[in-house]
């Protein structure tokens, strides 16, 4: 039941609870952000921040960091780790603080003013970053240190930070000639603007479409909870007495699962998968062309054949060939299974007298029927046991039993939206570990998907261990007037997944911010999140948190058995749609020549090449593939599968010794969760596991081998 979700540094947007107005800037530019927030645990004072505070703080932050960098670069003393690398790591505090809040808030509650400011800031921030990474005097100091570390007595973490800093400058173009540097600056500005525009277009496309139903007969097959949610959406849209379905996943997916109206399933699904591909003002095809070609130009300018070669050089996978091998190896198991599943669904259509060949908008509907037929598993029967608050308490309980963590609800603290909740995270000895925010329901101003990030990262500064402020965002089933939020199995798994990312941030315990928390390669960062999924439906864990929202009854063994029996059901589809998207990503980013792409044709040929069956489309079609064209996963969507090799292997000691084995959990915390990027990821993994991962466990988890 593997699900794959996004972690990003640019998430939510701002201040539904009070100050989204376009206010006047503070009298002292950037003043509210100029020092650590004078609040409990340094939490952002959302009740005091107004929109007008942001631009002055960004401008002042860039100015301050530029001065700090200039001071480091022109320091007359010989370069040392402390006066160069550590000084750089600690620079830009104001800019870092305002960026985390602004971009951290940009994804969950955006508006026209915030989007306009983000577009205005984009070239300024790009130029500021380039001014640092292309500073020859600064690099000369870094290179001096990197070229001879023999007498520096560096710790492993310090050497790692030095090496990562050096490579970062080289990969940013410091070795280029002046003309190439000028062109590189232009490319970086263009890419920054284009990726931002891609995401804005997708959000508009998602929000602009509504399937409005005014005939009750068109609700045939839909569960009462789905109907009630659609009625509430309609009421909020000013269409009381009707039913509205949107392109938010908690709305469109249950419609596809249960609606008996095939024409309406087709209409809603096509609206979902044509986002960004409607030849309108929100169309993303030209943007994709520009992004792909600029990435090719940049990679080749830096000495790489393709963008994928450039990206993977810093990941565990290292080369496109290694990624293609992993994806194709799994594809060889997944596609035949998907074809069997399609035949099974077609057989049900035929048995019911349906005179049509199954299409992609039929898959969920008939899959749900087959699942009920084979396993007597009706998700509507299960959902009452997965009240959102109970599931959240479940992940808290797992974290307590594994790592000794305790979560204390923080009352009357400022949040950016009334739906957000905040917790203090305490270690087993009662010491403060982190602050943790949750924001779980879809809104018009929130990007689709689920993610984790931080309003403050962990580091040791001036002898003080600065503890992180972490958040999880999701788009889960909303509560209605009559029922609380009751999660689907996929949503439960998503919540556990994102909480795994949160633990990676919360438990960070290194010295330098540049290697702290989730600052690791894309194909390692998903290990902490995906290993958490293993606890979500473990029978021992279910009995801790899965309680009926009305009666408090613990989920019965009969339902647990059904969940377990069906855990590998539909795995051909789940794996095939994912691998198809990952291969599409790689096909775009292994292009070695700039050209004009027909995006529809490119995608069609990419899928035909691997034999994707017509009944399935890639999990993300090109024009709404935000992971690779708006997020940080270009040539990196494969990372979820690469990390699954790790997580499946990493969970084995818990299988063998017990799901809450303390010694294993302590080792995972000490060697993986707390270490960030302070050492090579495979070195960290082998310290935990004692050996490199065995890929057989991935295939077993997906039911492809026994």
Distances (CA, A) of 190 to 99, 184, 193, 590: 20, 10, 5, 20
Count other C-beta atoms under 10 Å from residue 538's C-beta: 18
**Bridge partner list, 486:** 387
**Structure token digits, residue 8:** 């990003």
Instruction: Report the run of H or E that residue 45 belongs to, with start and end.
Output: none
Per-10-residue mean pLDDT of the chain, 706 residues long, equals: 37 30 46 93 95 96 98 98 98 97 86 92 97 98 96 96 98 98 98 97 96 98 95 95 96 97 98 98 98 98 98 97 98 98 97 96 96 91 97 98 98 95 98 98 90 96 97 96 95 98 98 97 96 98 98 97 95 98 98 96 98 98 97 96 97 98 98 98 98 95 91
Question: Beta strand pairing status for 406-409 and 243-245?
Answer: unpaired
CA nearest neighbour of 469 among 514, 513, 424, 427:
424
Rg (CA), the chain: 25
Can you spell out the DSSP letters for 511-570? Answer: S-GGGSTT-S-HHHHHHHHHHHHHHHT-HHHHHHH-B-TTT-PBPPHHHHHHHHHTTTTT
CA nearest neighbour of 142 among 459, 680, 514, 519:
514
Query: What is the per-residue burial (b if ≥16 Cβ within 10 Å, else e) of 81-114?
Result: beebbbbbbbbbbbbbbbbbbbbbbbbbbbbebb
| CA terminus-to-terminus distance, the chain | 16
Q: Which residues contact 164 (CB under 8 A, 6 or more apart)?
A: 514, 515, 677
Class of domain 285-377+572-637: mainly alpha
Distances (CA, A) of 195 to 515, 635, 639: 25, 15, 20
C-beta of residue 452 within 8 angstroms of C-beta of residue 468? no
- Give the pLDDT score at 28: 65
Query: What is the per-residue burial (b if ≥16 Cβ within 10 Å, else e) of 384-394?
Result: bbbbbebbbeb
Residues of the chain with CATH 1.10.1370.10: 285-377+572-637
Can you spell out the DSSP letters for 252-274? Answer: HHHHHHH---HHHHHHHHHHHHT
Residue by residue, what is the 3-state secondary structure of 99-110?
A: HHHHHHHCECCC
CA nearest neighbour of 52 among 81, 78, 22, 11:
22
Q: How far apart are CA 295 and CA 312, in angstroms?
A: 14
Q: Which bin fits 635, alpha (ψ -120 to 50), beta or left (φ > 0)?
A: left
Q: Which residues contact 185 (CB under 8 A, 6 or more apart)?
A: 126, 127, 130, 134
Q: What is the pLDDT of residues 270-318, one digit of tens each?
A: 999 999 999 999 999 999 999 999 999 999 999 999 999 999 999 999 9
Count other C-beta atoms under 10 Å from residue 655's C-beta: 12
By annotation, the residues acting in catalysis are: 498
Can you spell out the DSSP letters for 166-216? Answer: HHHHHHTTTTS-HHHHHHHHHHHHHHHHHHHHHHHHHHHHHHH--EEE--G
Count other C-beta atoms under 10 Å from residue 233's C-beta: 21
HSE-up of 84 (CA within 13 Å, CB side)? Answer: 25
Question: At 674, is the secondary structure helix, strand, or coil?
Answer: coil
Q: How far apart are CA 312 and CA 526, in angstroms?
A: 16
CA nearest neighbour of 448 among 265, 623, 209, 624:
624
Q: How far apart are CA 522 and CA 515, in angstroms?
A: 14
Q: What is the pLDDT of residues 107-144, one digit of tens each?
A: 878 888 999 999 999 999 999 999 999 999 999 999 99
C-beta of residue 399 within 8 angstroms of C-beta of residue 405? yes
Quick one: DSSP state of residue 631? Answer: S
């Amino acid at each position: 039941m593997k699900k794959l979700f996004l972690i990003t540094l640019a998430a939510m947007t701002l201040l539904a609870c009070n100050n989204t107005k376009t206010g006047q800037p503070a009298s002292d530019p950037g003043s509210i952000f100029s020092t650590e927030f004078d609040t409990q645990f340094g939490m952002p004072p959302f009740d005091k921040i107004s929109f007008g505070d942001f631009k002055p703080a960004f401008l002042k932050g860039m100015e301050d960091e530029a001065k700090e960098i200039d001071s480091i670069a022109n320091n007359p003393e010989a370069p040392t780790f402390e006066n160069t690398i550590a000084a750089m790591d600690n620079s830009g505090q104001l800019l870092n603080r305002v960026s985390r809040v602004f971009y951290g808030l940009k994804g969950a509650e955006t508006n026209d003013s915030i989007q306009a400011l983000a577009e205005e800031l984009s070239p300024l921030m790009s130029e500021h970053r380039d001014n640092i990474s292309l500073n020859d005097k600064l690099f000369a100091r870094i290179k001096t240190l990197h070229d001879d570390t023999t007498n520096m007595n560096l710790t492993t973490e310090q050497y790692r930070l030095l090496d990562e800093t050096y490579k970062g400058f080289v990969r940013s173009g410091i070795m280029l000639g002046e003309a190439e540097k000028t062109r590189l600056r232009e490319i970086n500005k263009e890419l920054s603007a284009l990726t931002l525009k891609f995401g804005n277009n997708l959000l508009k496309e998602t929000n602009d479409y509504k399937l409005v139903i005014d005939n009750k007969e068109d609700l045939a097959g839909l569960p009462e909870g789905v109907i009630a949610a659609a009625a509430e959406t309609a009421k909020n849209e000013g269409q009381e007495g009707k039913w509205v379905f949107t392109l938010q996943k908690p709305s469109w997916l249950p419609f596809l699962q249960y609606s008996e109206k095939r024409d309406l399933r087709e209409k809603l699904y096509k609206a979902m998968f044509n986002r960004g591909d409607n030849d309108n003002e929100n169309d993303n095809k030209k943007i994709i062309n520009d992004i792909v070609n600029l990435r090719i130009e940049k990679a080749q300018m830096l000495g790489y054949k393709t963008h994928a070669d450039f990206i993977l050089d810093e990941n565990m996978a290292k080369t496109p060939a290694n990624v293609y091998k992993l994806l194709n190896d799994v594809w060889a198991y997944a596609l035949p299974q998907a074809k069997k599943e399609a035949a099974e669904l077609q057989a049900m259509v035929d048995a019911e007298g349906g005179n049509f060949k199954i299409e992609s908008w039929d898959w969920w509907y008939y899959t749900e029927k087959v699942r009920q037929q084979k396993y007597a598993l009706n998700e509507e029967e299960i959902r009452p046991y997965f009240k959102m608050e109970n599931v959240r308490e479940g992940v808290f309980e797992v974290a307590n039993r594994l790592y000794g963590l305790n979560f204390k609800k923080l009352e009357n603290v400022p949040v950016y939206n009334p739906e957000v909740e905040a917790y203090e995270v305490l270690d087993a000895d009662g010491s403060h570990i982190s602050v943790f925010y949750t924001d779980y329901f879809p809104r018009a101003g929130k990007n689709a998907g689920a993610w984790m990030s931080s309003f403050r990262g962990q580091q040791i500064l001036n002898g003080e261990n600065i503890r992180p402020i972490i958040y999880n965002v999701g788009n889960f089933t909303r509560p209605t007037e009559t029922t609380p939020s009751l999660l689907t199995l996929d949503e439960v798994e998503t919540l556990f997944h994102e909480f795994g990312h949160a633990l990676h941030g919360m438990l960070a315990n290194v010295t330098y911010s540049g290697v702290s928390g989730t600052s690791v390669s894309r194909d390692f960062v998903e290990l902490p999140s995906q290993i958490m999924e293993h606890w979500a439906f473990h029978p021992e864990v279910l009995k801790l948190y899965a309680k009926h929202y009305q009666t408090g009854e613990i989920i019965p063994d009969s339902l647990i058995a059904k969940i377990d029996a069906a855990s590998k059901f539909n795995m051909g589809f789940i794996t095939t749609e994912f691998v198809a998207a990952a291969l599409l990503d790689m096909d775009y980013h292994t292009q070695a020549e700039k050209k004009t792409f027909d995006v529809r044709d490119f995608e069609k040929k990419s899928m035909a090449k691997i034999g994707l069956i017509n009944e399935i489309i890639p999990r993300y079609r090109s024009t709404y593939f935000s992971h690779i064209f708006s997020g940080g996963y270009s040539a990196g969507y494969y990372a979820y599968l690469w990390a699954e090799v790790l997580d499946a292997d990493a969970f084995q000691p818990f299988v063998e010794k017990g799901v809450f084995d303390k010694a294993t959990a302590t080792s995972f915390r000490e060697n993986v969760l707390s270490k960030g990027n302070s050492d090579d990821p495979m070195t960290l993994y082998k310290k935990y596991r004692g050996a490199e991962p065995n890929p057989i466990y991935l295939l077993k988890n997906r039911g492809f081998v026994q």
